[in-house]
Amino acid sequence: MTDIRVVNPTCGGTGPIPRRLRRPQSKNVFDTSPLASELFIAEQTRTGRRRSSALLTWMMILVVSCAVGAEKRGRMRPWLVKAVNFTGNASISSSDLLGGMDTKPSRLFRKKKFSLSLLNVDIDAIAYLYRDRGFLGIQVKAGELIRDPSSRRVTVNIVIIEGPQTLIDSVAIKGRTVFGEAEIKRFIQAKPLAPYSMVRLSYDQQLIRDGMTARGYPLCSVGRTDRVDSIAHKASVAFLVDQGPLAVAGPLEVNGAKRLRQVIVKRGLTFRQGDTLTTRKIRLSVRQMLETGMFKYVQITAPVADSSRQQRMAGPISLPVLIHIEEADFYRVQGGIGYGTYEGVRLSLQTSYGNVLGLGRTIGLYGKYTRLIQSLHLHYTVPWIFLLPPTAEAEVYGEHHNEVTFAGNLKGMTLSLFGKTTWNFGYRTFTSFEWVKGVVVQPQLSKLSRMMHGNNTQSFGAGFTVDLRDNIFDPAKGLLVTSDAEMAGLIGTGTNHFYKFMIDLRGYFPVAHFLNAASAAAAGYVNGYGIDRAVVPPQELFYAGSERIRPVRGYAPGGVGDAVGGRLALVFNVLELRFAVLKWLKIAGFADAGYVWTSESLFAVHDLRWSAGPGIRLRSPIGMLSMDLGFRLNGPTKGKTGFSVSIGEPF
């Protein structure tokens, strides 16, 4: 029996004269003396020796060069991993072991270099994995390394001696805690018959600490006592919890405020002085402050002066709260450029100042240009209206429309309240006043949407958003739901009378590391009531390819439906598969369906227009560039195609 007490937890010589260089004896007609003959022979001997020396030198240089080249070529061809074999792994499969290693067999498009140091790291990782599963006596070592010089590949053999597995026999929670023992046991990993792992148990200790801190007990301590029976291979675990005193927020101190008033900074907090201080309130405060756009950096801390003394206190303790901020750049100018096949070039420009009167209020001007819509918006935003979390915004605008449903000028004003709550839930309520001028309705819509010259619109509306995507620009997984409802004509005279509902759902699902799937659906319904029961303003009608309803790829805006605009619209992006070829390139395949009906009474599923085709997604400095070629699969224009280009993902 073993007791374990657990405390809180990187060339030159000469030679004979070559025979071919020796001059044969011959009679010299000019000088036949012996001395002249000896001088001539000596001169020829020295010349031959110099030539021989030069020849030997060049031969030596050639031999050395070949040797160095061969050595370099040997170094340029590294040893690759041919195969990795395991022996003795009865409890963990070879594929699971190989999945956590860096030493892997080479494949056609994946060459893995062999490294002895990397293999040793992998052996340590395998031993760690086994110990995490309760094999306390695990032994892992490298076996024979078989090298093939011809292919320069290595076969790696790893020998594993598992030994017996130690399991948890019992788990106990002792000490003073706001949690019940049953509640703690529900969220920790340590359970009877689970593998005995000191790493997992340390993680459980941290889970208990985090849970206590979330309840307002940041000075809690969690110890642990383990009793391991090395004969029966069982372990008894006891967590020792001391929750400590309750912590409340003390004086609030702001550091880093230069142009913002401190009262504005403190409005972003979800707690006040004297409230129970929890990690959840601190995280929500940081997120809420960052979402205002007034801060680049926010950190909230509650330092403890003497934790050992304060931990022994019986009553609540007051901790000072330090709020460290870095103000954002309040002057902003942003521009954007995009392109859509049917709407042409998209241009936008926005300028704003975000600290009017030192109160964090924003005044801004926003302009947009496309072939279909040209608009100019002026807005004034007030965060924490009446000291409450929602943000208030007033906006006036003027727009010129040349859409498939109507052409004309609109001007109006919108007052709205919006904000965010937990779980990424956003909400918005608004009232709108809109005046029309010079509106021309398309002839085919004259009966569907009769518009009197003096009919303007006053409406109320509300909407919500749930955004669970992992990335708002290029999501790989998650869910996005947006919904809006609007009713016009409740008050005032000379206003249109209609109600409208819209919902948009988008889902993103990872299939493999190189493949993602996405699907979406958008629906909208608008109808008149009261004295305007048969009348819907043309700017409120739906058509596929507008700003409110996505297109059915392969069709032009307004190309699916009984008319170019209608009261009921459904568009399904049934499935889109995105294959990652490179980091900046994806190949897509999609299937879409949709239709727009002039009346809900005409709804029929068989009316849906279907399209499918390939697409390309390119990452660029200005965003994701999407190109799609849609083939029309049914309807009167079956077999025709439509090509579209846009900035950003299709949905």
Q: Which fold has domain 366-373+381-579+592-609?
A: Porin (2.40.160)
Of the candidates 405, 441, 357, 458, the one whose C-alpha atom is nearest the C-alpha of residue 564 is 405
Supply φ then ψ for residue 281, to 5 degrees.
-65, -35
pLDDT tens digits, residue range 287-318?
A: 888 878 889 899 999 887 656 666 666 678 88
Give the strand pairing for 167-176 and 234-242. parallel
Q: Specify the pLDDT at position 20.
A: 37
- Residues 184-209 have a mean pLDDT of 91
| Whether the predicted pLDDT of 413 surpasses 60 | yes
| 16-30, 149-163, 313-327, 630-644: segment of lowest average pLDDT | 16-30
Euclidean distance between CA atoms 626 and 620, whole angstroms: 10
Q: Domain spans of the chain?
A: 11-73, 80-161, 167-242, 247-327, 366-373+381-579+592-609
First to last CA, the chain: 62
Which pTM was predicted? Answer: 0.64
CA gap 604, 151 in Å, rounded = 66
Q: How many CB atoms lie within 10 A of CB 50?
A: 10
Tokens of 41: 């022979």
**Topology (CATH level 3) of domain 80-161:** Ubiquitin-like (UB roll) (3.10.20)
Evaluate whether 167-242 and 366-373+381-579+592-609 have a shared fold: no
> Is beta strand 406-420 parallel, antiparallel or unpaired with respect to 425-441?
antiparallel
CA distance 581 to 578: 9
pLDDT band at 484 (very low <50, low <70, confident <90, very high): very high
3-state secondary structure of 44: helix
Radius of gyration of the chain (CA): 40
Which ranges of 77-106 would DSSP assign to H, the alpha helix? Answer: 94-99
* In contact, 324 and 298? CB cutoff 8 Å: yes
In the predicted model, is pLDDT for residue 154 greater than 90? Answer: yes
Which pLDDT tens digit goes with each residue over 421-438?
767 889 999 999 998 887
* Interaxial angle between packed helices 198-214 and 279-291, expressed in degrees from 0 to 180 and rounded to the nearest 10: 70
Confidence of residue 50 (pLDDT cuts 50, 70, 90): low
- Does 238 score more than 50 pLDDT? yes
pLDDT of residue 200: 92
Tell me how many helices (H) and strands (E) the chain has.
Answer: 8, 26
| 362-393 pLDDT, tens digit each | 999 999 998 888 999 999 998 877 767 788 99
Asked if residue 451 has pLDDT above 50, the reply is no
Q: What is the pLDDT of residues 64-116, one digit of tens each?
A: 555 545 444 445 678 999 999 999 999 999 989 998 898 989 887 678 889 99
Side chain identity at residue 601, one-letter code = S
**Residue 238 near residue 225 (C-beta atoms within 8 A):** yes
And the tokens for 608? 């849906």
**Model pLDDT, residue 365:** 95
Alpha carbon 527 to its chain's center: 40
Q: What average pLDDT does the chain have?
A: 82
What strand order describes the sheet that includes 80-87?
80-87, 153-161, 139-148
User: In CATH, which superfamily holds the domain spanning 247-327?
Assistant: membrane protein fhac (3.10.20.310)
The mean per-residue pLDDT over the stretch 485-505 comes to 90
pLDDT (0 to 100) of residue 26: 41
pLDDT of 112: 86
Q: Are 366 and 376 in contact (CB under 8 A)?
A: yes
CATH superfamily of 167-242: membrane protein fhac (3.10.20.310)
Q: Which amino acid is at 318?
A: S
